Amino acid sequence: MRKLSILVLVSLVGHTQAQTANALIESVLDKINLVNDYKAELQIKAVIPFIKVPIANATIYYKKTDKFKVESKGIAILPKQGLSDLTGFLTNTKSYSAVLGEEKTINEHKTKLVSVLPSAENSEIVLAKVYISPSDALIYRTVLTTKSSGTLSIDYEYNHNKQYALPSKLTFTVDIKKFKMPKSVASDIRNNDDKKKYKENEKGTILLVFTNYEVNKGLSDAIFKEDQ
């Protein structure tokens, strides 16, 4: 009888926790769902081992539910994951289970960790640790473990578009595998004694600064068609 009571109590606590975790995600989704489309100017500053790239400017377009495009005149390097797919993943609340974790202060914001586990076997996202502030229903950090891209963390900063949960700054930290260039392709003429020595795997950061948001102004589907 005593064992049964403990079991019931544990499952009740678990249920309440899941509810709270889901409630936290839903509070974020309530804000995200206010956005039907948006357009913003994007400044991309990438500090990545093996790649030297100037600051790039781009325009980002999004339209509900999964239309997303980054348009840049020059070459812009973006993380493969975490820009649009996380929102899509969280929106489908039936595709994952959420568990509440520890509390953590990130950039002076008190957050709660919500660990999100996908239900599908072949999901690209293996685990998402989302740090949500209950006070303003905003995500301040996400640590994504993915099948193909390894682990990446995203730090969020907000400015004028908090009501839509649209960040003003995103800092991606990604794992970069050691770059091996075939000698036939790279014909350096100098002795490479002064070359920077890299470790087998290094972290790279990509800073995205969003400005001039235009939210819910109506975007044509034609924008998202691939340029030929």
Partner 1 sequence: MLLKNTYNELLKIATKIRSYIGIGALTLLIFIVLFAMKADGKSYVGFVTASFEQTLSFNGKILNGNLIAFIIMQMLIVHVPLLIALVTGDLLSGEEASGTVRMLATKPISRTGIVFSKWIAATVYTLIMTFWLGFLSLFVAKWMFGTGDLIVLNSNGLLILAEYDLGWRFVFSLIVAFLALWTVATLALAFSAFAKNSVGPIVSTMSVIILFTIIGTLDVSVFDTIKPFMFTTHMAAWRSIFEDPFPLREIIESVVILTVHIVALLTITIVRFNKKDITS
Q: Shortest CA distance to 222 belongs to which of 51, 61, 94, 104?
A: 61
Nearest CA among 29, 44, 63, 12 for reference residue 216: 63
Residues 6+ apart with CB under 8 A from 100: 17, 18, 20, 21, 24, 112, 113, 114, 115
Looking at beta carbons only, is 31 or 39 nearer to partner 1? 39
What the block records as the tokens of 205 is 């950061």
Contacts of 39 (CB under 8 A, 6+ apart): 59, 60, 61, 62, 213, 214, 217, 219
Q: Where along the sequence are the contacts to partner 1 (CB under 8 A)?
A: 48-54, 56, 58, 70-80, 148-150, 152, 174-177, 179-181, 183, 185-192, 195-196, 204, 206
Closer to partner 1 by CB, 1 or 75: give it. 75
Whose Cβ is closer to partner 1: residue 32's or residue 48's? 48
Taking the complex as a whole, the smallest distance from the CB of residue 24 to partner 1 amounts, in Å, to: 29
Shorter beta-carbon distance to partner 1: residue 76 or 219:
76
C-beta of 158: minimal distance to partner 1 in Å? Answer: 24
Smallest gap from residue 78 Cβ to partner 1 (A): 5
Closer CB to partner 1, residue 10 or residue 47? 47
* Dist. CA 199–CA 203, nearest whole Å: 10
Closest distance of CB 149 from partner 1, Å: 5
Shortest Cβ 143–partner 1 spacing (Å):
15
